[in-house]
Structure 1
Amino acid sequence: MEIKKIVIAGAGTMGYSMAQIFAKYNYDVTIYDLKAEAIENAKKRIKENTQILIQDQELTSEQEKLLHQHLKYTTDKECFKNCNLVVESIIEKVEIKQSFYQEISRLVREDTILATNTSGISINTLASAVYKPERFIGMHWFNPSHLILLIEIIKGDKTLDTVAQAIKELSIHIGKKPVIVQKDVLGFAANRIQFAVLREALYLVEQGVISKEDIDAVMKYGLGFRYACLGPLEVADFGGLDTFYHISDYLMKDLCNDTKVPSELAKLYEEGHLGIKSQQGFYDYHDGKDHQAIKNRDEHLLKIYNALYK
C-alpha cells in the first residue's frame, strides 16, 4: 500500500501539526476543513512554526520552501477523490465523525486508507459508518505532535493487517515510534494508563495525603523521569519482580478503584475551569501565564527529545 497523497481532515491544532510533519517528509498533503477561517488559521500557524524551526536551525530556508510546496489547503471535498490516505482530526463527537465517514468513505477510492486521530472513541463504533471498513484504522497522535514520538495504531475488528502495517511503516518513515493496539478498547493503551495515574493522583490530593504541586513533582522528578527511559514492565524487571510481587500483594487492594469522575476534576469542569484553554484549571494561567506555560512545556520537551532521541 503505497502512500503518496494524504488529506488531513480538520485544520485544528492536531490537523495542521500532522500536515506539517507529513509535508516535511515530502508527502503531498492537503488540509481540508469546512470553515475557511480554520484554513487561514492553519496557514498562519504553519508559517509561524516553520519560522521557529528555522530560528532553532531545525529547518533551512530551502527546506521550508519545499515544505510549503507539498502543502495545499481547501474547503472543497473534491480533494478526497485522489488520495491514498485520509487522516481525520475533526471534533470528538461520535455522530459528527460517523456522518463524515458515511460520506467520505464513498467519495474516496476503494483502496484509500481511512484513519482517525480520535483520542478514545471506539474504532469499531466509527467503523460501523465506513464503507469497506477493512481499510479503517485508528492513528492516534499526541500533542505536541512535533515533539511526542508515540503514535498509537488501533485495529478495529475488521481492519486488515496490511493496513495496520502500512500505517506503521508510514509512522516510522516520518520519525515516529508507533505501537499497534491489537484490540479496540476504550481509551486504547496510552489513555488508559494516563487516566489510571490521574485517578490515583487526584485521590491522594483529595485525601489530603499530598498537595497538587507535590504530586506533580512526584511524576516530573521521579516516575516521569524514569519512564522517559524505561517502560513500566522494564522498571519492574530492574526493581526485581519479587519486590514488585510483594508490594502488589498489599498495595493493589489499597489503590483507588472508584469508577466515577474524580470529584475535583468534576468540580472544575462544572465551574467552567478547563485548564490552559480557559486560563484556569488545577493551576492559574491568567495574565500571560498560559503562553508562558506552553513555552516552558515545549522547551522542556525539546530538551528531553534532543537528549534522548536526536
Structure 2
Amino acid sequence: MDVHHIVIAGAGTMGYSMAQIFVQYNYQVTIYDLKEEGLLHAQKQIKENIQTLVEQQEITLKKANDMIQSLTYTTDKTYFKDCDLVIESIIENKDIKQSFYQEISHLVKDETILATNTSGISINALASSVHLPERFIGMHWFNPSHLILLIEIIKGDHTSDEVAQTIYQLSLDIHKKPVIVHKDVLGFAANRIQFAVLREALSLVEQGVVSKEGIDDVMKYGLGFRYACLGPLEVADFGGLDTFYHISEYLMPDLCDSHDIPTLLQQHYQNGEYGVKTQVGFYDYHNGKDLTVTKQRDDHLLKIYNALYKN
C-alpha cells in the first residue's frame, strides 16, 4: 500500500514531532488541529527545529526549505479526503478518540489507513467506531520522537496483515525500529514493562528499602545502561538461564504483585503534583530546573543515540 500524503491529527508535541520526521523523509504532511493557536505553536516549533538541524549541518538549507514547503497546517477537515494515512495523536481519551473516528473514517477514502498514537487504549475498543476497521491499527511513538527509535505497531482483531506490513515498512523507511504487537492488550508491550518496573520501584521506596534517588540510580547506572544494549531476554541468556531460574525460585514469590495504584503515585496525583509539567512530582523542578532537566535529558539521549545508532 503506497503512502505519500499523511495527515496528522493533533498539533501537540508528538504530532508536530512526527510531522517533522515524515517531511524529513520526503512525505507530504498535513497537520490538522481544532485550534488555530495549536497550529501556530506547532509551526513555530518545527521551524525552530529545522533551523537547528541546518545549524548542526544535519541538513542543507535547500532541504530545510523543502521540508517547510511539504507541510500544511489546517483546521479544515476536507484535507482528510485526499490522504493515504491518518495518524491520530489527539487527547488520550477513549470517548473523544471514538468520536473522532466515527466522523473521519467516513470522510477519508476507503483505502486510507487509520492509525492511532494512543499509549495504551484498546485498539479493538477504538476500532469499534471505525468504518472498515481492517484498515485501523495502533502506531505508538515515544517521546522525544526524534530520538527514541521504537515504534509499537499494534494489530486489532480486524487489522489486515497488509496494513500492518505497510506501517511496519513505513517505520523502517523513516529509520525507526518497529515492533509488531500481535495481540491487543492494554498498555501494549512497552508500557506493560514500564509499569511493572514502576510498581516494583515504588514498592521498594515505600518500604524504605532504597531512596527514590537510589532506585533511579539503580536503573540509570545499572539496568538501564545494560538495557540500552541488550533486551531482557538477551540479558538472561548472557547471565545464564540456570542462574535466572534459581533466582526466580525465591525472588518471584517476593516481588510486588499489587493490583492497586501505588500509594506514592496516588498521593502525588491527588496533590496535583504531576512532575516536570507542574514543576513538582517525585522531585522538585522549580526555579528553572524544569528547563534544565529537560535539556539534560535530551542531551543525554542524543549522546546515546549518536554513540549507538548514528550510523
Q: Return the TM-score normalized by structure 1.
A: 0.99
Q: 2:255 and 2:56 mapped to 1: Cα distance? A: 44
Q: 1:109 and 1:19 mapped to 2: Cα distance? A: 21
How many residues are aligned here? 310
Report the alpha carbon displacement of residue 279 of structure 1 after superposing the two structures with TM: 0.5
Q: Secondary structure at the match of 1:213?
A: helix
Report the alpha carbon displacement of residue 48 of structure 1 after superposing the two structures with TM: 1.4
In the other structure, the counterpart of 2:66 is 66
Report the alpha carbon displacement of residue 83 of structure 1 after superposing the two structures with TM: 0.3
Q: 1:225 aligned to 2:233?
A: no
In the other structure, the counterpart of 1:89 is 89
Amino acid at match of 2:101: Y
Q: Secondary structure at the match of 1:114?
A: strand
Q: Describe the superposition over 1:12-70 as per-residue Cα deviations: whole angstroms up to 9, x where unpaired.
A: 00000000000000000000001000000000110111122222222222211111111
Residues 142-153 of structure 1 aligned to structure 2 (within 5 Å): 142-153=142-153
Q: Secondary structure at the match of 1:300?
A: helix
In the other structure, the counterpart of 1:162 is 162
In the other structure, the counterpart of 1:215 is 215
Q: Describe the superposition over 1:217-236 as per-residue Cα deviations: whole angstroms up to 9, x where unpaired.
A: 00000000000000000000
Q: Secondary structure at the match of 2:297?
A: helix
Q: Secondary structure at the match of 2:87?
A: strand
Q: 1:48 and 1:78 mapped to 2: Cα distance? A: 28
Q: 1:256 and 1:210 mapped to 2: Cα distance? A: 15
Report the alpha carbon displacement of residue 205 of structure 1 after superposing the two structures with TM: 0.4
Q: 1:289 and 1:174 mapped to 2: Cα distance? A: 33
Q: Describe the superposition over 1:252-278 as per-residue Cα deviations: whole angstroms up to 9, x where unpaired.
A: 000000101100000000000000100
Q: 1:50 and 1:309 mapped to 2: Cα distance? A: 21
Q: 1:278 and 1:236 mapped to 2: Cα distance? A: 39
Larger CA deviation: 235-244 vs 64-73: 64-73
Q: 1:244 aligned to 2:257?
A: no
Q: 1:293 and 1:53 mapped to 2: Cα distance? A: 22
Q: Describe the superposition over 1:160-185 as per-residue Cα deviations: whole angstroms up to 9, x where unpaired.
A: 00000000000000010000000000
Larger CA deviation: 240-249 vs 54-63: 54-63
Displaced runs of 4 or more, over 6 A: none
Unaligned runs of 5+ in 2: none
In the other structure, the counterpart of 1:46 is 46
Q: 1:12 aligned to 2:12?
A: yes
In the other structure, the counterpart of 1:132 is 132
Report the alpha carbon displacement of residue 107 of structure 1 after superposing the two structures with TM: 0.1
Q: 1:261 and 1:249 mapped to 2: Cα distance? A: 26
Q: Secondary structure at the match of 1:115?
A: strand
Q: 1:224 and 1:103 mapped to 2: Cα distance? A: 42
Q: 2:188 and 2:21 mapped to 1: Cα distance? A: 23
Amino acid at match of 1:70: S
Q: Describe the superposition over 1:60-102 as per-residue Cα deviations: whole angstroms up to 9, x where unpaired.
A: 2221111111111000000000000000000000000000000
Larger CA deviation: 171-180 vs 62-71: 62-71
Q: 1:273 aligned to 2:273?
A: yes
Unaligned runs of 5+ in 1: none
Q: Secondary structure at the match of 2:54?
A: helix
Residues 262-301 of structure 1 aligned to structure 2 (within 5 Å): 262-301=262-301
Amino acid at match of 2:44: K
Q: Return the TM-score normalized by structure 2.
A: 0.99
